[in-house]
Each structure stands twice: as C-alpha cells, then as structure tokens.
A = this chain, B = another copy of it.
Amino acid sequence: MADVQKLVVVGVGLLGGSIAKAALARGVAAEVVGVGRNREKLAQAQRNGVVTSATTDMSAACCGADLIVVCTPVDTIAAHVRDAAAACNRPTLITDAGSTKADIVGELPAELPGRCRFVGSHPLAGSEKTGAENAAADLFVGRTVVVTPTDTSRGEDVEWLRAFWTALGASVRLMPPDEHDRALAATSHAPHLIAVALALATATEDLPLTASGWLDTTRIAAADAQLWRPIFAANRANVLKALDEFGKTLASLRHALESESAGDLTNLLAEARRVRKAAEEIRNGNALGS
C-alpha cells in the first residue's frame, strides 16, 4: 500500500485507539493524530503512546492527512465525516469503524467538500471494554473488516482501504452497505439484544447460581449502552426482522420441549452444535490466514 505519512483517528476510544496503536506498531503510519473532545483523555492517550499527537481541533488535525478514520458512535459519524472533509486541504479518503453502514452512507451527500471521498468500514472486532486505555495493537489480527463500497466508490480507494486493514492484520470482505446491515443485524445487533434480554430476565436472587454458561451468553450485555443504542436505532428494521427469525427458532425449540419430542429436540441441539462449530472454524481459519 501507499505510505500513510499522516493517519487521523477521530474518536480515540477502544476502536480508534486500537487502530492508532496497530498502525504505529506495524509501521503502517508514520504519524497518528487523535482527534477528540476531552483534552484530558487525549493527553493521556498521547502520553501512553496510543497516538503521536492529539488535538480537539479537526482542522489542524486533517491538514495534510493521508487517511482519516472516524471512530465515533454511529449516530455522529456522518457529521464527523463532513467536518473532516471540510477541514482537509486536499482530496482525502475518509473511512469509519461504525457497526452500521446504510444510514451513514445515506446521510452523506454524493459529493463531500474538497473532493474528499468516503468509503465505509466495519472492523468485526471489539470488546465489552471501552476507552483508549483498553486499546490493543493486535485487536484486528485474524478478524474480518467489512468494507462497504457503493456504486460511486472509486476502485482504487476500495483497494487502498483493503491494503490498510490487511496491514493491520485483518481479512477484508466487500459488501454493499444494505447487505452489511442485514447480515450484522443477524450476527451482532440482534444477538446483543438477546443477551440483554437474558440478563434482564434473570432475577437478582438467582445471580449467585449463574455459571460460565450464563456469563458467556450475557457477556456482550456488559457493553456501553451509549454506543449500542444508536446502532439499534440506525438498523431498526433489520434488527426487528432478525429478532423475529430468532423468535421462530426459539418457538420451535420450545415446541419440541413442550411436546416431549425427544428426537426433534436432539436434532435441533445437534444442528446448533454444528452451526456453532462451523463459525468457530471460520474464525480459526481467519486467524491462521492472518
């Protein structure tokens, strides 16, 4: 890939901090400028070597940037992309790390200020932890990053983003924004609400009787509500459909249990085991290939 002399990360939290650390650790960028609102947190990220410099001033940060990655909550990404484009002194590629894509693409004008271009990214990596203090340079190793070009995206921008994420250790998949949002509703957003529902359905007095099964199943329910609420809002229709699909499957399991159909229940349990193992093999394959 072309050298990134200056990488700008807008929003230096867990994801933005990890992109910054990975880019520096792997020599993908010579300089990483962190942009944020909280001066104290930015100063701390700089002291900890997460970024090489930090500022609250988007204009100062974006001047001379080779790539800008917006890593803020999904309901603020489009506005930050517009601000960043307006702050650039030359046509610059801008991407993001948001968990939804169609809303962001839909909110952005066909032409950004200063002939900047936006192509969306979604790294399928994260943690229930938050903040730059939990950022990790290896967060993307063996993980998938979905890049979501549209009809107007330039092929060279897409290939450049592929090279960028690959250089951070990830495998890149290209998908249209709509298709990304449908799939992620099923694999991430609805599962998150299911974990939340399970945590909420468990009576406080029963919590001492939870074990690793419950703790694993509810792990993502510990994530930051402020980050997730906008994701659900942005992908509402797809999430509702995915929840309906889950509801049907749960109803068929419930029916097998209620009707004492041991054969049906055994088959469903065996099939779920097969699906779970297939997903694990895909992940292990990605990790080996990286």
Contacts and interface: CB of A to CB of B under 8 A. Distances in A.
Interface in A214-262: 214-226, 228-229, 232-233, 236, 239-240, 242-243, 245-250, 253-254, 257-258, 260, 262
Contact of A220 (B126, B201, B217): B217
A152 interface: no
A266 interface: yes
A64 B254 CA distance: 45
Question: Contact size class for A?
Answer: 35 or more
Nearest to A286: B208
A159 interface: no
- Dominant secondary structure at the A interface: helix
A278 interface: yes
Given A124-B211, A126-B212, A207-B279, A240 B257 contact: yes
B198 A229 contact: no
A253 B196 contact: yes
A276 B213 contact: no
A232 B268 CA distance: 13
Contact of A194 (B126, B194, B200): B194
Contacts of A162: none
A223 to B, nearest CB: 7
**Quick one: which of A206, A217, A254 has the most chain B CB within 10 A?**
A217
B222 A280 contact: yes
Number of copies: 2
A269 B213 contact: no
Contacts of A191: 198, 213-214, 217-218
A250 B215 contact: no
Contact of A211 (B143, B206, B208, B242): B143
A221 B273 contact: yes
Given A187-B209, A217-B191, A236-B257, A269 B225 contact: yes
A198 B273 contact: no
A213 B220 contact: yes
Contacts of A206: 183, 186-187
Given A215-B279, A240-B258, 20 more contacts: A126-B212, A127-B212, A184-B209, A187-B202, A188-B213, A193-B254, A194-B198, A195-B272, A197-B250, A197-B253, A199-B275, A200-B271, A201-B242, A207-B279, A207-B282, A225-B273, A226-B266, A232-B257, A233-B265, A240-B254
